[in-house]
Amino acid sequence: MKTDRKLFLLRICVLAAALLFIGIGLLRQEQMEVFKKAVKICLECIGIG
């Protein structure tokens, strides 16, 4: 029973950390940088860019 509780708390902590890092990335406008890189890679893959 203690193992289940520890696993649950670990999952909650990992989820909280993930949400924190996503929030920090959004505040720093990092999503636009990721989008620009994704577009560039896609254009290079099909031979346009």
Residue 3 · residue 9 · CB < 8 Å:
no
Does this model's pTM top 0.85? My answer is: no
* Tens-place pLDDT, residues 1-49: 689 999 999 999 999 999 999 999 999 999 998 888 888 887 777 777 5
Q: What is the structure's pLDDT at 38?
A: 85
Nearest-angstrom CA–CA distance, 14 and 26: 18
Q: What is the structure's pLDDT at 46?
A: 76
Evaluated on CA atoms 31, 32, 33, 39, the torsion sign reads positive
Residue ranges per structural domain of the chain:
2-45
| Tokens 């346009």 -> residue | 48
Q: What is the structure's pLDDT at 43?
A: 75
Q: What is the structure's pLDDT at 10?
A: 97
Nearest-angstrom CA–CA distance, 10 and 31: 27
